[in-house]
Structure 1
Amino acid sequence: MKNHAQMWSTSYDIIIVGAGVVGSSLAHALSNVSIQRSKPLRICLLERSLSEPDRIVGELLQPGGIMALKKLGLESCLEGIGAVPTYGYCVVLDGKPVQIPYPNGHEGRGFHHGRFIQALREKAKKATCVEVVEATVSELIECPLTGRILGVRATRKLAAGDAEPVEKEPFFADLTVVADGCFSNFRNLVMGKAGIKPATRSHFVGVVLEDANLPIDKHGTVVLVRGQGPVLLYQIAEHETRMLVDLKEPVPSDIKDHILTQINPQLPSALQVPVERALANDRIRRMPNSWLPPAEQGGHLSKEGVILVGDSWNMRHPLTGGGMTVAFNDVVLLTDMLVGYKSSQIGSKSLVVALYDLFGAEDPSLEVLRVGCFKYFELGGNCIREPVTLLAAIEQAPFMLFRHFFAVALYSIWVLFTHPRQIGVDKGKPIFAKPRPDEYPLLFLKSVHVFWTACVVFLPLMWTEIRP
């Protein structure tokens, strides 16, 4: 047993729980700040397993995330891992693609998640004043008098050939940063009554396609599938493309059959054979898509001496691959201020959720908005230039988001009155016709409901982001 003096010898300035995207980059960034101080910080980074993780999300980094990486001095982590450049988006509806390029030469990166995480961890291991410990954190140490978090208790991983039981070891710090991901074990304890439980809205089912040809090369592709959730595709290596299929609750019992019969026929023809091969040869992976709005931290709202960051605090649907970008920007804020209660990516995060509600439309009014959104992108020019700067986290402009979202809503109503829609099928081919004047009164009532639906979708999302 350690005596009292030995226990306090494992004291740090900052403890970070979780060596994923946020934890590793924060440790490195704080180390850079530390070397500028007369008394360097002592930082401890705790991670349950330092082996390469294997996940189906966290594989696409937006241009805004690359900008943040450069600010943190971590851009070299994208080298030597087989990362593939991404130049924008491609949205596909009924086999018709619309290109949404990143502006001004910006580009993102697609890669294997595990390789990128290992590169970040290597940076943290080499950082000055950072101690990386492979240990499982089991609890937070709380002062019985004040309730302040004093650190954590963790069990170090046994060395090879070591069969002796290992006791929980205390690690003390002035500040404990919890970055243990979407399945956080400490979220409820930190937030107390202020905490909100994550809501699982759907699942991403992922497979890797070999040598697949995307509709537009090196563009993240979103296929809008009628009657189903969207399908996301992007390259993660030279010959590998990740496909993520959004399946709403309840998930079908036979996922492979569902994808083959309900989804694959609606994908671009060049992708259908690679999908069939992948389903036959690759194991299907699942990941819940959770919704967790940010809750204010600090003061009486949460425990003192501890802060949540990353997915342990705030989650959005990973439709546009913006999670890591938000995380890196939050690390920039935390590094500058050591306290950051609001994310800098208001426009990016709200637009992601709003787009998912549209792209995964089942409600008839949302279907009108989905078609209108696609037609809005088809207009080109500023109708895609400004929205993609929000999606790519190049700009953070809530008013721009507000303006374009309701422009989409109004344009969707215009499309409802003026554009041909399917009215039947003749010999297997769809028949299209514009609305007749006698249909206008009913369409007017429908348009009112469409606009109301747009308000219901968007305004609560914006409020969760900008509320004081």
Structure 2
Amino acid sequence: MTASNASSTPNRKPMWSASYDILIVGAGIAGSALAHALSAAATARGRPLKICLLERSLAEPDRIVGELLQPGGIMALKKLGLESCVEGIDAIPTYGYCVMLDGKPVHIPYPEGYEGRAFHHGRFIQALRAKAKEAACVEVIEATVSELIECPLSGRILGVRATRKEEGAVEKEAFFADLTVVADGCFSNFRNQVMGKAALTPETKGHFVGLILEDATLPIPKHGTVSLVEGHGPVLLYQIGTHDTRILVDVKNPVPSDLKGHILTNIIPHLPASLHLPAQKAVEKDRLRRMPNSFLPPSEQGKRTKEGVILLGDSWNMRHPLTGGGMTVAFNDVVLLRDMLLDVKDLADWTQISHLLHKWHWARKPLASTVNILSVALYDLFSAQDPYLEVLRTGCFKYFELGGNCVREPVSLLAGIEQAPFMLFRHFFTVALYALWILFTSPRQVGVANGKPVYARPRPDEYPFLAVKSLRVFWTAVVVFMPLLWQELRY
């Protein structure tokens, strides 16, 4: 490290500059994994890389995101040599889902031999950071990055300026690198600067309100629970520790002014009975915490974006958190990016990097597109307040009840085990057609007798009306799915 602007003023720390092969901004899920993975693989090849990992705060984060890692994410962790990060943090194995509609559960297990893990986010992050700190030639620095250093002539990003989190530190330091990777999360400060005209605006579909239930009993232990509450969004529950169960309540915009009252009155009574008391206690004593549910499609980097810098993780691509696929996509991205970067002879050669980014963008599509599309499409169905979406939601629930391949392939897509957007296409529209069959053949409530609902199958004279409704239902399915598919193929 060399001094670049030492000052003779007493008690004033000098500005320093340092140079690296790769500079990573953000020691979260993607940043920490990339630092370790690049270092380990490069060292094994006999050409170690000098890597700097910058993070604003290395204290254990306390967040309600990133607490469920799908089996596909576990598979990626093993490829990165990071599988030990889910050990020793009181992580809970997860074996699938239980979806509940009108008090009826349907079991959706992962394929045999696969499991995910649920845990406290902060503990997992600290385990990833510990692996990064142990890696050869990786320097982890606690500092706040305030700006990207841009060449005034070419516009290329040369590095960053950051202020260390040390007592009395006020001067910004310059950190230079052949390649800068920005992985600063969903609230990225540098997304628009890096992407330029290719930047897309995140779409916020609402919020999840999070609480922790103590010693709660889920309908199926060690399975994520999705409770579909009539007139409201889905409620997610999964065990993240021996005594802790996370509950996420979907709240649409505008967010109610009395959130606690909303949850106590409109949500908890519709949950399984075993969860009523733990949920009430949590609402009464815990602090309600919110996170935006944002969707940001990935647009290709390299051609129209800033030279010398790459966006990674939620700073570039987000999907609805309903399916818990964010970390799985991030780790898979790191696996692909690590292997491609190690084949680049000169990290400062943007022509090579640009070509790499094109390959990476399309190599990640099978998994990323599957998870992205599925997350938003499922959310639209599960939060249905439209009569045509409600038909599709009922059809989806009934489709899962069929079991066999009607469960195995969809859950393999959700879990990140299968990477096949067109398999998702096939199942989504099979669900739509099955929903139409249910519309014509299944009994529905037609009245109440002696205080009990009365059900009856549709009469033949109702078929013309149902035929028109079925067209509207199928068109709704097209409107939900096809724009998402086009968005993923387009960018």
Q: Same fold (TM over 0.5)?
A: yes
Mapped to 1, the partners of 2:110 and 2:176 lie a distance apart of 45
1:293·1:315 contact (CA, 8 Å) conserved in 2? yes
Mapped to 2, the partners of 1:427 and 1:260 lie a distance apart of 30
Unpaired segments ≥5 residues, structure 2: 7-13, 342-356
Counterpart position of 2:208 = 204
Mapped to 1, the partners of 2:24 and 2:323 lie a distance apart of 27
Which of 9, 19, 36 is 1:11 aligned to? 19
Mapped to 1, the partners of 2:447 and 2:181 lie a distance apart of 58
Inter-CA distance 9–156: structure 2 relative to 1 (3 Å threshold) = closer
SS at the partner of 2:361? coil
Counterpart position of 1:438 = 461
Mapped to 1, the partners of 2:183 and 2:306 lie a distance apart of 15
Counterpart position of 2:154 = 146
How many Å apart are 1:393 and its aligned residue?
0.3
- Opposite residue 73 of structure 1, the aligned amino acid is G
Counterpart position of 2:134 = 126
Deviations 1:268-294, CA, capped at 9 Å, x for gaps:
111111111111121111100001111
Counterpart mapping for 1:448-463 below 5 A: 448-463=471-486
SS at the partner of 2:283? helix
SS at the partner of 1:131? strand
Mapped to 1, the partners of 2:46 and 2:462 lie a distance apart of 75
Name which of structure 1's ranges 342-351 and 326-335 shifts more when overlaid on structure 2. Answer: 342-351
Mapped to 2, the partners of 1:82 and 1:20 lie a distance apart of 19
Counterpart mapping for 1:104-115 below 5 A: 104-115=112-123
Counterpart position of 2:411 = 388
Deviations 1:426-463, CA, capped at 9 Å, x for gaps:
45533322111111111111100110110111111112
Counterpart mapping for 1:362-401 below 5 A: 362-401=385-424
Name which of structure 1's ranges 428-437 and 330-339 shifts more when overlaid on structure 2. Answer: 428-437
Deviations 1:180-210, CA, capped at 9 Å, x for gaps:
0000000000011110111111100011111
SS at the partner of 2:112? coil
1:325 aligns with 2:348: no
1:66 aligns with 2:74: yes
How many Å apart are 1:2 and its aligned residue?
3.7
Name which of structure 1's ranges 453-462 and 431-440 shifts more when overlaid on structure 2. Answer: 431-440
Deviations 1:387-438, CA, capped at 9 Å, x for gaps:
0000000010122111100000000011111111222344553332211111
SS at the partner of 1:10? strand
Q: What do you get for the CA RMSD once the two structures are aligned?
A: 1.6
How many Å apart are 1:349 and its aligned residue?
2.2
Inter-CA distance 180–428: structure 2 relative to 1 (3 Å threshold) = farther
Mapped to 2, the partners of 1:76 and 1:37 lie a distance apart of 23
Counterpart position of 1:177 = 181
SS at the partner of 2:48? coil
Mapped to 2, the partners of 1:429 and 1:263 lie a distance apart of 23
Counterpart position of 2:234 = 230
- Opposite residue 50 of structure 1, the aligned amino acid is L
SS at the partner of 2:240? strand
Mapped to 1, the partners of 2:258 and 2:321 lie a distance apart of 23
Mapped to 2, the partners of 1:256 and 1:423 lie a distance apart of 35
Unpaired segments ≥5 residues, structure 1: none
Mapped to 2, the partners of 1:331 and 1:165 lie a distance apart of 33
How many Å apart are 1:48 and its aligned residue?
0.1
Which of 38, 47, 50 is 2:55 aligned to? 47
Which of 34, 38, 41 is 1:30 aligned to? 38
1:8·1:172 contact (CA, 8 Å) conserved in 2? no
Mapped to 2, the partners of 1:426 and 1:325 lie a distance apart of 50
Which of 306, 311, 314 is 1:308 aligned to? 311
Name which of structure 1's ranges 336-345 and 313-322 shifts more when overlaid on structure 2. Answer: 336-345
SS at the partner of 2:237? strand
Which of 415, 425, 428 is 1:402 aligned to? 425
Mapped to 1, the partners of 2:68 and 2:433 lie a distance apart of 32
1:27·1:124 contact (CA, 8 Å) conserved in 2? yes
1:270 aligns with 2:293: no
1:85 aligns with 2:105: no
Which of 249, 255, 264 is 2:253 aligned to? 249
- Opposite residue 439 of structure 1, the aligned amino acid is E
How many Å apart are 1:9 and its aligned residue?
5.3
2:163·2:169 contact (CA, 8 Å) conserved in 1? no
Deviations 1:27-62, CA, capped at 9 Å, x for gaps:
000001221344421100000000000011100000
2:16·2:173 contact (CA, 8 Å) conserved in 1? no
Mapped to 2, the partners of 1:296 and 1:228 lie a distance apart of 35
Counterpart position of 1:341 = 361
2:17·2:173 contact (CA, 8 Å) conserved in 1? no
SS at the partner of 1:341? helix
Mapped to 1, the partners of 2:438 and 2:54 lie a distance apart of 54
Query: What TM-score results when the alignment is normalised by the length of structure 2?
Result: 0.92
Mapped to 2, the partners of 1:277 and 1:430 lie a distance apart of 33
